[in-house]
Amino acid sequence: MSHISLNVQTRPTGKRAAKDVRQGGMIPGVIYSKNQEPIAVTVNPLDMRPVVYTSKAHLLSVTVDNKQSIECILKDISFHPMTDQILHFDLFGITADEPIIAKVPVKLVGNSKGAMLGGIVQQITKKLVIKCLPKHLPTQVEVDITNLEIGSSLRLREVSWEHLTMISTPDVILVSILAPRVRAAK
């Protein structure tokens, strides 16, 4: 699991305060932790890029006001519907001995037998919800598709990973190998 360092500053709470933060070119957010009061924070948009615009899951080492350091995961993020600018984010503080629930990207590995015969690999599920200890949180979950034939699919219940408990529905289809389309001869 990779770590990303993030420096944030505390800010006043409330809608007006969040709007003022956005007008100042910063992004408002909140850090939630078990048995602690939420901390309203602000961060530079450039500092959020490696956290948001990635295909991998990360643990965050968040430094608040250059003093307090909190281990977190990104729990939620809101985007502007027209501009895709980040409007708000929520971080969740974690402890090493308590399981966390996180969304992790699915990466397909291997060359399927069906694809080598002309089949089309269609990845149905891009992310899975998992539960694990922070030290076991993977950056992505790898799914081996080597043995898939044309017309076959792979469901979540057919695979397992060490140290991970799947929260996603076991019947969800991860990947399918579709038959190639054939054009009619004229």
Mean per-residue pLDDT for 46-62?
A: 85
pLDDT tens digits for 65-83?
A: 988 888 998 888 999 899 8
Q: What is the pLDDT of residue 108?
A: 93
pLDDT tens digits for 136-165?
A: 888 889 999 999 999 999 999 998 888 888
Q: What are the structural domains, with CATH classification, of the chain?
A: 3-94 (2.40.240.10), 101-178 (2.170.120.20)
Give CA separation, 162 vs 106, 116, 147, in Å: 15, 29, 21
Q: What is the pLDDT of residue 1?
A: 59
Q: What is the pLDDT of residue 35?
A: 83
| 3 has pLDDT over 90 | no
Could you give the CA distance from residue 106 to residue 126 in angstroms, rounded to a whole number? Answer: 5
Cross-sheet strand order for the sheet of 127-132: 141-144, 100-109, 127-132, 165-166
Mean per-residue pLDDT for 160-178?
A: 89
Could you give the CA distance from residue 156 to residue 145 in angstroms, rounded to a whole number? Answer: 12
Residue 185 pLDDT class (50, 70, 90 cuts): low
Q: What is the pLDDT of residue 53?
A: 84
15 compared with 39, residue with greater pLDDT: 39
Is residue 73 within 8 Å of 92, Cβ to Cβ? yes
> In sequence order, what are the residues at sequence separation of 6 or more whose Cβ sits closer than 8 angstroms to the Cβ of residue 136?
1, 163, 164
Q: What is the pTM of this model?
A: 0.74
| 170 has pLDDT over 80 | yes
Smallest CA-to-CA distance from 73 within 36, 104, 114 is with 104
